[in-house]
Structure 1
């Protein structure tokens, strides 16, 4: 059996072990930061007998970090997407996206702390692992806003610009949440949704 098998070649046991290591890496990076998250510390948290077991499953730290980032985005999508997919209108979809995003930040704080630490600690992190999924998310939000305009729900505005603003507001919510653990999250979410809805709503719908 060869080390570092590709995803399609993994046995059930190997896939479970990789998942175990990725989870331990997320928790270690969130707690200690990217620079201090050594294979030895990750192995200890994962309950592995040797750091060498990580090297069997991952080609190196960058390979592991790539999987960590992919896992966080995948989990985030699994939390947010059902809220948006269940919506009937563009406004409801936007609301579900905002509420789902903040709910994900809240329930997966270690995941989000790990992402922040990777961005701060790895000089090539943004270009290698973040730009593509972030661009895809922004494209989807832009498309949603354009759909709301076509359907007459949203006023006229540059969809890309407003998509960037909404993403920046969510980034601010994440920073606020991570620095203020006792934040009134329900109230914060409610007001952020209200601000965004008011900003995009078509004039004829303001009183509804």
Structure 2
């Protein structure tokens, strides 16, 4: 039997169920990174996880639902790392630099996740065949960075500029950095993020 619903319609899950879902997501990441989105069937993911396909179907209603969970968990993990590092920072300059550096540090140890995300973003579609994760899927990130840039402008650290444009540029630069690193594993990610951090700080300064 599936777990009973909690208030608000969310299913309550036991520790064992959460562990199983995490196991399935981890296997999905590995399989997608190895064979690509198209060939990453639920049966193949189940075999990698050492479980039956029915176990995956118990926890996830479809492959699309599993893919969305992969994205949510990867981004949730990145968010936790960034939040921990940014706690207590007082200046917008520190926040901008720490955000860029922490995201790079976190993903350096999770290259397989980056490959899987790229496959999902490129291939996962909505019912009307539009990308499930188009540019507007980053709205929450854009808004968060706009707030950081607003703080910098109000404190006098940063010059006046269009905060939405800067937030999009900031986010897009991170995406491009990782895309290049995934395609070119020998690329110096540390040097790249140092240059990028200095570049964005200079672009913001008075």
Normalization by structure 2: what TM-score?
A: 0.89
| Conservation of the 8 A alpha-carbon contact between 1:33 and 1:121 | no
Match runs of 1:159-170 below 5 Å: 159-170=163-174
| Conservation of the 8 A alpha-carbon contact between 1:149 and 1:155 | yes
1:20 aligned onto 2:23: yes
Within 1, Cα distance between the matches of 2:133 and 2:168?
19
| Conservation of the 8 A alpha-carbon contact between 2:121 and 2:133 | no
State the match for 2:99 in structure 1: 97
State the match for 2:151 in structure 1: 147
Deviation at 1:105, TM superposition (A): 2.5
Name whichever structure is richer in helix by fraction. Answer: 1
Deviation at 1:129, TM superposition (A): 5.2
State the match for 2:14 in structure 1: 11
Within 2, Cα distance between the matches of 1:17 and 1:128?
25
Deviation at 1:182, TM superposition (A): 1.6
Within 2, Cα distance between the matches of 1:97 and 1:37?
32
| Conservation of the 8 A alpha-carbon contact between 2:124 and 2:131 | no
Runs of 4+ in 1 over 3 A off after TM superposition: 3-8, 125-133
Within 2, Cα distance between the matches of 1:136 and 1:126?
20
Within 2, Cα distance between the matches of 1:99 and 1:173?
12
Deviation at 1:91, TM superposition (A): 0.2
SS where residue 31 of structure 2 aligns?
helix
Distance 1:200 1:133, change over 3 A: same
| Conservation of the 8 A alpha-carbon contact between 2:123 and 2:131 | no
Within 2, Cα distance between the matches of 1:183 and 1:25?
26
Task: Kindly tell me the number of residue pairs found equivalent between the two proteins.
Answer: 201
Distance 1:128 1:3, change over 3 A: farther
Residue segments in structure 2 that go unaligned for 5+ positions in a row: none
1:185 aligned onto 2:189: yes
Aligned-residue RMSD, C-alpha: 2.1
Match runs of 1:1-208 below 5 Å: 1-2=1-2, 8-48=11-51, 50-124=52-126, 128=132, 134-202=138-206
Within 2, Cα distance between the matches of 1:2 and 1:8?
8
Within 2, Cα distance between the matches of 1:12 and 1:76?
22
